[in-house]
Amino acid sequence: MHTAWLLLTFPQALRGARMRSFARPLAAGVRTRLEPVYASATASGDDPPPESLSLRVPSPALLLNHMADRYGSTSRILMEFVDNSLDDAESLYEPAKGAYRREVRVDVFVSRRGRRLRIVDNSRGMPPETLARVVMRVGESRKRGASFVNGQFGFGMQSFRAACSSLTVRSAAADRAHQIRVERSQSDGFLLEPLAPTAPEAAALCGGSGTEVLLQGFDAQWVDESFTAAAVAREESLHFERFRRGRSAQSDEAKNELGGVAL
């Protein structure tokens, strides 16, 4: 009786994964065998060195938009950005003194008619290289393992894709201000632009350090009863109860203000 087998080969890009051939009967009564794909290619029996593979996503923007759908409400998206502000404020906290070096302020502005949200803080701000990393990279948070930080939703600034058409982030640090604007349909071609100190956009940062986030073009279904100044203030109070309690002993010197204010 004869023995026959078929070798299923793979493209060069997949080699190194120790693929084995798939055998199937050729006729009734004919036995099949499995043989390593590289058995005839390597006399010593050693596998060739593995090759590095790269994940290719034809439309990163489409993938990100689908991933961002995990955010079920406007408040969850908003808190992702407010988390960033409060987490950065922790750098101003001095444990030995039990206080912040200066007042910490986070303001949220709600425009129901304009379908936009604006978050402004007076924390440290970001140099351009940090601004680019924070806005453009997903899942690389340096907050992992850090104590007493609030960020927990995990998708970062790209969460805007679930609900609105554009994200603009402006940040000032060390007397320099820069901005990045991201459209929901974009996956490349982003510009990191310097802002002149006299520019109106830089003036919104109160002439010091801090970050401004502008979420524009909210889809109609997201502009619901939660898209109001009062609703935002209530959500903030619930979301940051642990943060408030954790710093209540320093409330005289460290002040966190957050409220919905209509534009």
pLDDT of the chain, 263 residues: tens digit per residue: 443 333 333 344 333 333 333 333 434 444 434 444 444 444 455 666 666 555 565 676 776 677 666 777 888 888 888 888 888 888 888 888 888 888 888 889 999 999 999 999 988 899 999 998 888 776 555 544 333 344 444 567 888 888 999 999 999 987 789 999 999 888 788 889 998 877 777 766 755 789 999 999 999 989 988 899 888 888 877 766 656 565 554 444 444 454 444 44
Let me know: does 125 contact 209? Beta carbons within 8 Å: yes
Q: Are strands 164-173 and 210-218 parallel, antiparallel or unpaired?
A: antiparallel
Residue 27 sits in which domain range? 1-54
Same domain, 133 and 237: yes
Same domain, 112 and 206: yes
Same domain, 116 and 18: no
Same domain, 175 and 238: yes
In the block, tokens 């060069």 appear at: 12
Same domain, 25 and 154: no
Same domain, 43 and 77: no
Same domain, 48 and 91: no
Task: Using a cut of 0.75, tell me whether the model's pTM lies above it.
Answer: no
Number of domains in the chain: 2
Distance CA 263, CA 257 (A): 17
Let me know: does 126 contact 120? Beta carbons within 8 Å: no
